[in-house]
Amino acid sequence: MPRGRLEVQILEGRELKDQDLVGQNDAYIELYVDKKYKQRTTTKKDTNNPVWNEIFTFNLDKGDDHIHFDVYDDDVIGKDSIGMKKK
pLDDT tens for each residue of 1-31: 668 899 999 999 999 998 767 779 999 999 9
Per-residue confidence (pLDDT) for residue 2, from 0 to 100: 66
74 - beta bridge partners?
79
Q: What is Dmax (Cα atoms) for the chain? A: 48
Per-residue confidence (pLDDT) for residue 85, from 0 to 100: 85
Average pLDDT, the chain: 90
Domains belonging to the chain, first-starting first, are 4-86 (2.60.40.150)
Per-residue confidence (pLDDT) for residue 64, from 0 to 100: 85
**Which pLDDT band, with edges at 50, 70 and 90, does 56 fall under?**
very high
Better-scored residue on pLDDT, 78 or 49: 49
pLDDT tens for each residue of 36-46: 789 999 999 99
User: What count of other Cβ atoms lies within 10 Å of the Cβ of residue 7?
Assistant: 8
